Chain A
Amino acid sequence: AQKVTQAQTEISVVEKEDVTLDCVYETRDTTYYLFWYKQPPSGELVFLIRRNSFDEQNEISGRYSWNFQKSTSSFNFTITASQVVDSAVYFCALSEANMEYGNKLVFGAGTILRVKS
């Protein structure tokens, strides 16, 4: 069975600090996809990134970066120079790579990030 663990329940940082959100996953599939979603206080879910299991290159998008390590089954998310607007719940999720049967996501419990000014 697939499983996603986000061990950090809540993290508090001061603005401009760097912060890393951890994500560890379990799957027996050799091909799979990993996602990060953001849920700001307004409640909607915002897609951040999708990464497939064959692409272990790190990804950078502005202040956001992702480190995928298959050897440790981890897909960690780093925010550089955090801002108050980064305060949100962040979810890591895992999907099997089944093109026919859609897109069943298994979510982690989420990490609450609080950025203080």
Chain B
Amino acid sequence: NAGVTQTPKFQVLKTGQSMTLQCAQDMNHEYMSWYRQDPGMGLRLIHYSVGAGITDQGEVPNGYNVSRSTTEDFPLRLLSAAPSQTSVYFCASSRTGPNEQFFGPGTRLTVL
């Protein structure tokens, strides 16, 4: 099993550009989520999904979109990148419920 995979590992964007961070898992987990990690703030939930076709907002959803067309994939879209979105982004998956979450390796995004 590859677990949770994320691409790309690093990305530099200019302000206003859009892009999609990819996330995939091969554990047949119903629940997937995106977090961002900023210094001194821990990880904060951006969006999450409890199954294909179902998504909802987390704590910091502004400027991001998600969709869940399959169980395996949960891409995160930045619509118009801003310097405030410079961060490390983690995708995670788990069985539904308060279970151990498996995290991807992260994507380090810099917005200039």
Question: Which A residues lie at the B interface, using CB under 8 A?
Answer: 4, 6, 9, 32-33, 35, 43-45, 47, 50, 52, 91, 93, 95-110
Shortest CB–CB separation between residue B102 and chain A, in angstroms? 8
Q: What is the bound-complex CA distance between A50 and B100, given in angstroms?
A: 7
Contact A43 B106 (CB under 8 A): yes
* Interface pairs A-B: 10 shortest CB-CB: A107-B42, A33-B98, A45-B103, A102-B31, A95-B98, A107-B43, A99-B97, A102-B50, A109-B42, A47-B100
Contact A44 B98 (CB under 8 A): no
Q: Beyond the given A9-B40, A102-B94, A103-B96, please list 16 additional residue pairs across the A-B interface where CB-CB is below 8 A.
A: A6-B42, A45-B43, A47-B100, A47-B102, A52-B98, A98-B97, A101-B50, A102-B30, A102-B48, A102-B97, A103-B94, A103-B101, A105-B43, A105-B45, A106-B59, A108-B42
Residues of B contacting A106 in the complex (Cβ-Cβ under 8 angstroms): 45, 59
Shortest CB–CB separation between residue B32 and chain A, in angstroms? 9
Query: Which of B90, B99, B103 is close to A103, meaning CB atoms less than 8 Å apart?
Result: B99
Contact B105 A43 (CB under 8 A): yes
Residues of A contacting B88 in the complex (Cβ-Cβ under 8 angstroms): 43
Shortest CB–CB separation between residue A3 and chain B, in angstroms? 11
Contact A50 B106 (CB under 8 A): no
Shortest CB–CB separation between residue A43 and chain B, in angstroms? 6
Contact B98 A107 (CB under 8 A): no
Query: Which of B44, B58, B98, B103 is close to A97, meaning CB atoms less than 8 Å apart?
Result: B98
Contact B31 A44 (CB under 8 A): no
Shortest CB–CB separation between residue A8 and chain B, in angstroms? 13
Contact A109 B106 (CB under 8 A): no
